DNA sequence: CGGTATCCGCAACGATACTG
DNA sequence: CAGTATCGTTGCGGATACCG
């Protein structure tokens, strides 16, 4: 649990960091289609550790992007979905994500040219 | 210099990381208004070390977002500006940035309610 | 099933000193 | 002025073990 001076000077940086984090992006995009249970979401995303998924979900819940619905049953069942604010956030990152994917090939080519030029 | 398996599996992740990085965002937004010299940009952004600014600019140049114009004069003078692709990138991150700032107060309030609820 | 707690390595970052 | 080189610290993120 941290809160350094940078967050104090520029709180929006922290918000941006949460929604654009490696797993944050994937969680928001996944939950945009439908709600997911924890393990289900973990399998859907792929390559994410329990720890990081739990941490990401907690952060997003704390910020008010994700709603956590823990049903008191055995075995436990917890459903995650987007809040209205989260829906908005997901739209934004998905827009950026679509642009990024559209331009990725160009960027990759740029990198090759750059590396070529100084080898 | 890194290139792990995640980048191989999802190259667009790397691109997203570069444009949304702490200093990457600020560089793109700053260069959108006009071109800057190195130290000038450093002062304008504030709080960024020489090392990180140089690294950020190199990364963005390699990806083809930033154009580096080094004039062969003494003392050295290097101007940085956006390429067309960089202009596009800057628009995207500025849009996300504007949304983030618009919602930051809401998020901060959400965090307080969340923390309150479990203390 | 859906987490938490703990340990730990390694890359990111900042500060400082130096260079063309 | 515009960087590079080196060093020391920090903290993210994975692995593992355990809990309600």
CATH of domain A12-118: 1.10.10.10
- Looking at residue B5, what is its pLDDT? 56
Which long-range contacts link B98-103 to residues 24+ away (Cβ below 8 Å)? B99/A88, B99/A89, B99/A92, B100/A12, B100/A15, B100/A16, B100/A19, B101/A12, B103/A15, B103/A85, B103/A88, B103/A89
Q: In 3-state terms, what secondary structure has residue A65?
A: coil
Task: Supply the mean pLDDT for chain B.
Answer: 93
Sequence-distant (6+) residues with CB within 8 A of B30 are B36, B41, B44, B45
What is the average per-residue pLDDT within B96-116?
96
Q: pLDDT category, A1, cuts 50, 70, 90?
A: very low
| A-contacting residues in B 65-84 (Cβ below 8 Å) | none
| Rounded distance between C-alpha atoms, residue A57 and residue A55, angstroms | 5
Q: Does the C-beta of A22 come within 7 A of strand C?
A: no
What is the average per-residue pLDDT within A40-54?
95
- Does pLDDT of A112 surpass 80? yes
Q: pLDDT category, B78, cuts 50, 70, 90?
A: very high
- Looking at residue B2, what is its pLDDT? 44
Check A97 against B64: CB less than 8 A apart.
no
- Looking at residue B4, what is its pLDDT? 53
- Does pLDDT of A18 surpass 90? yes
- Looking at residue A48, what is its pLDDT? 94
Using a 7 Å cut-off to protein CB atoms, list the covered nucleotides of chain D. 1-6, 11-17, 20
Check B99 against A107: CB less than 8 A apart.
no
User: How do A36-37 and A77-82 pair as beta strands?
Assistant: antiparallel
With a pLDDT cut of 70, the percent of chain B lying above it is 95
Check A104 against B63: CB less than 8 A apart.
no
Check A15 against B103: CB less than 8 A apart.
yes
What is the average per-residue pLDDT within B59-69?
98
Q: In 3-state terms, what secondary structure has residue A21?
A: coil
- Looking at residue B33, what is its pLDDT? 97
What is the average per-residue pLDDT within B40-63?
96
Q: Which pLDDT tens digit goes with each residue over A68-92?
A: 999 999 899 999 999 999 999 999 9
Q: Which pLDDT tens digit goes with each residue over B19-35?
A: 999 999 999 999 999 99
What is the average per-residue pLDDT within B65-93?
97
Tell me the chain B residues in contact with residue A95 when contact means C-beta distances shorter than 8 Å.
Answer: 92, 95-96
Nearest Cα to Cα of residue A11 among B113, B41, B97, B47: B97
Q: pLDDT category, A9, cuts 50, 70, 90?
A: confident
Q: How far is the CA of B19 from the C1' of C20 (A)?
A: 31
Q: Does the C-beta of A51 come within 7 A of strand C?
A: yes
What is the average per-residue pLDDT within A9-15?
89
Tell me the chain B residues in contact with residue A98 when contact means C-beta distances shorter than 8 Å.
Answer: none
Cβ distance B24 to B57 under 8 Å?
Answer: no
């Amino acid at each position: 649990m941290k809160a350094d001076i940078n967050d104090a000077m520029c709180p929006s940086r922290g918000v941006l960091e949460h929604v654009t984090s490696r797993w944050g992006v994937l969680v928001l995009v996944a939950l945009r289609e439908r709600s997911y249970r924890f393990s289900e979401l973990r399998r859907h995303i792929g390559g994410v550790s329990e720890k990081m998924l739990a941490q990401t979900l907690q952060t997003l819940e704390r910020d008010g992007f994700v709603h956590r619905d823990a049903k008191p049953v055995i075995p436990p069942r917890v459903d995650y979905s987007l809040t209205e604010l989260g829906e908005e956030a997901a739209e934004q990152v998905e827009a950026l994500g679509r642009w990024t994917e559209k331009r990725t090939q160009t960027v990759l080519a740029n990198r090759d040219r750059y590396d070529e030029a100084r080898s």
